[in-house]
Amino acid sequence: MTLAPAAAIAHPHPVKAPTVVRFSTKARPGSIVVRTGEKRLYYVLGRGRALAYVIGVGKAGRSFRGNGVIARKAKWPSWTPTQNMIRREPGKYAKYARGVPGGPNNPLGARALYLYKGGRDTMYRIHGTNDPSSVGRAVSNGCIRLLNEHVKDLYTRVGVGARVYVQ
């Protein structure tokens, strides 16, 4: 694989495959750095390199910021909208208040990585999506979403306990 500078990755549509890029960070290999403004997630490889993924992020004011830890991982996770989501848009989310089982029609897609902070679930996830058009945009309720095939790849690389830095 050739290395491309992180800033050289254009805002793609269709979304490109994950790419190894030059990436300067103090984060340790195996960590995740999310740059919401770039709509990119970087899986830190070390030696000045990272694997860059295009992501969908939260609408203004709805995104997780700061540091966290991957405390849990799930294949084909179930999903329940948060109380804030139901309160903001009851017509859209109230019908799902009891949850949606995992599978291809689930909004969390094929895999989910659960973000915790201070030992508590933040209710934010890094997950797949059944809506590929949302990747590369600021359209979610705050979670970080990838194409299903990309989140499956990331899922195999990231361990429970991995640090996540969202900027």
Which residues are designated catalytic?
127, 143
Beta strands in 13-129 (DSSP E): 19-22, 32-35, 40-46, 49-54, 57-58, 66-75, 111-117, 120-127
Residues found in the chain: 167
CA pair distance 130, 75, nearest whole angstrom: 14
Paired tokens of 54: 């295009």
